[in-house]
Amino acid sequence: MDGSKTIEKTEVSTQKHRFTVEEYHRMGEAGVLDEARVELIDGEIYTMLRQC
């Protein structure tokens, strides 16, 4: 044995989910977005930076 290992390449399939305003509000009411300062922009949720 030469000590080398064979690593198999695995493909991962990902999908984006665009949220509706209603889903966004329900997540806020459920506490999912409670601690983060977030905004819904074009169906995507972004964490906003704090302003100094």
Give dist(CA 30, CA 3) in Å, integer. Answer: 52
User: Which has more confidence, 21 or 51?
Assistant: 21
Asked if residue 21 belongs to a domain, the reply is yes
Residue 5 placed within a domain: no
In a domain, 9, yes or no: no
DSSP lists the bridge partners of residue 40 as 45
Q: SS3 for 28?
A: helix
User: What pLDDT does 27 receive?
Assistant: 94
Report pLDDT for 17: 92
pLDDT mean over 39-46: 95
- Look at residue 2 and tell me if it is in a domain: no
The whole domain housing 35 covers 14-52
The answer, yes or no, to whether residue 25 has pLDDT greater than 70, is yes
Handedness of CA 20, 26, 31, 32 (dihedral sign): negative
Q: How far apart are CA 22 and CA 11, in angstroms?
A: 33
Q: Is residue 50, in this structure, part of any structural domain at all?
A: yes
| 41 found inside a domain | yes
For residue 8, being part of any structural domain is answered with no
- pLDDT-based confidence at residue 50 (cuts at 50, 70, 90): confident
How many domains does the structure of the chain reveal?
Answer: 1
Rounded to two decimals, the pTM is: 0.63
